[in-house]
Structure 1
Amino acid sequence: MAALRRWLFAGLLVLAPLAITLWVLQWIVGTLDQTLLILPEAWQPARLLGVRIPGLGVLLALAILLVVGAITSNFIGRTLVGWSDALLNRIPVVRSIYSSVKQVSDTLFSPSGNAFRTAVLVQWPRADVWTIAFVTGTPGGDVVSHLQDDFVSVYVPTTPNPTGGYFVMLHRRDCIELKMSVDEALRYVISMGVVVPTAPVTATNPR
């Protein structure tokens, strides 16, 4: 029985990550395949080829992203984007949603943004209990007038689902910058400490 139990867990360790990876990929491909619905019915690949080929939506989505990115990289494209932003910001209900989503996307995906660029070690949720967090910026707005020292905005993710977490503002001196990439830190958090970064982790106080 001990051998059977060992073989069972060994099989789970091999097949579970593979099955979850395939499921996630299938969900992504299935979701992106919905972009084919924007094509006219006569241009639908299933109609033209007589058979449905999974993954064509991924290619179409990538093509749309590349085209939009190329257009908005020049002066005319940036002008059109500015006009569309101004128009959407004039619509009462759409304005609040669009502006919030745009600010978050600009922070996360902009090459000049600093969100989730630094992994830090902080004491959370109390002193002498440590966890990994990510610096997302510095406090702004009226919050700054109530903070009398040098603070940073920090996101503390939950385990094993890092999409949920806590936004806190901590003294910069209380955040120990880690010499590990954000990807390594995320894997460390998601695995609940099982997947340790390969490179030795040394910590220094952030400058």
Structure 2
Amino acid sequence: MTEEKDATSVPLSQAVREEEGRDPEDPLKSPQSSPDSSARSACCFFLQSWVSKKFMTGCVVLFPVAVTFFVTWWFIQFVDGFFSPLYAQLGIDIFGLGFVTSLLFVFLVGVFVSSWLGATVFWIGEWFIKRMPFVRHLYSASKQISSAISPEKNNTAFKEVAIIRHPRVGEYAFGFITSSVLLQRDDGDEELCSVFVPTNHLYIGDIFLVNSKDIIRPNLSIREGIEIIVSGGMTMPQRITPVSPIDRVARQGDRIPLHRLV
């Protein structure tokens, strides 16, 4: 019995402090915390918030850098893998040599295709590809995307970046003008533009015929428009200025670079 009393007994000073801290109207309510404990809690909360904020700032800064380095490293290894096995069989083990060879190969292909003989060979190969089921659709979509950023002036893919009212009044969508058509009506002809509005992928989208007067042509180049679509709008400039008809006629197929107001 003596051991049980010792185990359950509480020092008199501690019992007095607990009785003083209790609320007489609510005996079950826990005693109020001291000013020192409140200061410690506030300090811990501030320190935890500061550490979390700085950690997230570091993640935000390092994430694009890490993604850039990872994609660049993967691309170098991928391109280097085309010719590195050939050099390995020859007993040459130099990192990056296959990558440089691949770039040189692409350059030589561009030089060859620019000639009459290369263009003829390329036309024959393209003729066979366009007669293959399923492959021709994939090739046509890929060629349209590559033609949009082609340095050639006779570009026949994306003409201009366009902003149209879609899907309802008050909402707008980014698209690319691909062609124009003249709609013949009894009350007069109407000039329509074929606007390609991408969906979740750049090579998949919807085609809209919009009156040329209802199209907003922003001060964006084709490359900038593609960047906006691919990035999900994260590269959107803070201010967009419509291009006047005079400036639109002056630039031939988006050849004159236009600055963005940021």
User: Superposition pairs for residues 57-96 of structure 1, below 5 Å?
Assistant: 57-86=98-127, 88=128, 94=132
RMSD of equivalent CA atoms: 3.6
Q: What residue number does 1:185 align with?
A: 225
Contact 2:159 2:179 in 1 (8 A): no
Note the residue ranges of structure 2 that are not aligned, 5 or more in a row: 1-47, 249-262
Sort the Cα spacing of 1:117 and 1:61 in 2 relative to 1 into closer, same or farther, 3 A.
Answer: farther
Matched, 1:135 2:182: no
Cα distance in 1, alignment partners of residues 108 and 126 from structure 2: 19
TM-score (normalised: structure 1): 0.70
Task: Find runs of 4+ consecutive structure 1 residues off by over 6 angstroms.
Answer: none
**In structure 2, distance between residues paired with 1:71 and 1:82:** 13
CA distance in 1, matches of 2:116, 2:226: 37
Which whole-Å deviations, capped at 9, do the CAs of 1:116-167 have from their partners, x for residues lacking one? 342221122222111322223346xxxx89xx84332223234xx6536522
Alignment counterpart, residue 135 of structure 2, candidates 93, 97, 100: 97
Stretches of structure 1 that go unaligned for 5 or more consecutive residues are none
Aligned residues: 191
Which of 181, 192, 196 is the aligned partner of 1:155? 196
Is the CA contact 1:173–1:205 (under 8 Å) kept in the aligned structure 2?
no
SS in 1 for 2:114: coil
Letter in 1 for 2:135: I
Per-residue deviation, residues 16-55 of structure 1 (Å, max 9, x unmatched): 1111111221232232123216xxx6x4247523x461x3
Q: 1:135/1:196 Cα in 2 relative to 1: closer, same or farther (>3 Å)? A: same
Does the CA contact (< 8 Å) of 1:29 and 1:57 recur in 2? no
Provide, for residues 50-70 of structure 1, a one-character-per-residue CA deviation record: whole Å limited to 9, x for no partner. Answer: x461x3333222222222222
Q: Which residue of 1 aligns with 2:68?
A: 21
| Contact 2:80–2:97 (Cα < 8 Å) also in 1 | yes
TM-score scaled by structure 2? Answer: 0.58
Percent sequence identity over aligned pairs: 22
